[in-house]
Amino acid sequence: MVEIKVLGPGCANCKRLEQIARKVVDTLSADANIEKVTDYKQIVDLGVMATPGLIVNDEVVSSGRIPSETEVTDWIIKALETN
């Protein structure tokens, strides 16, 4: 199972990133768990200094921007292949 964390306080950009992640997981029919992290201390502890942030299998793949759907798809496919 792929572990995905969307990090951010709940702003529009954070919600958009969560929508993209959920869409990609649905499109791929991936076995994935998506967790929303809104606590600033936990976000910083996870190594993200700018939100929105995206972590796939404990690796920070994006922070401070909204990645494209293609980028998110590539990260999730890579994570599925290494599981």
pLDDT tens digits for range 8-38: 999 999 999 999 999 999 999 999 999 999 9
CB distance 72 to 18 below 8 Å: no
Longest dimension (CA), the chain: 32
- Active-site positions read 11, 14
**Res. 65 pLDDT band, cuts 50 70 90:** very high
**Nearest-10 crossing angle of helices 12-28, 69-82:** 50
CATH of domain 2-82: 3.40.30.10
The pLDDT value recorded for residue 83 is: 76
Q: Domain spans of the chain?
A: 2-82
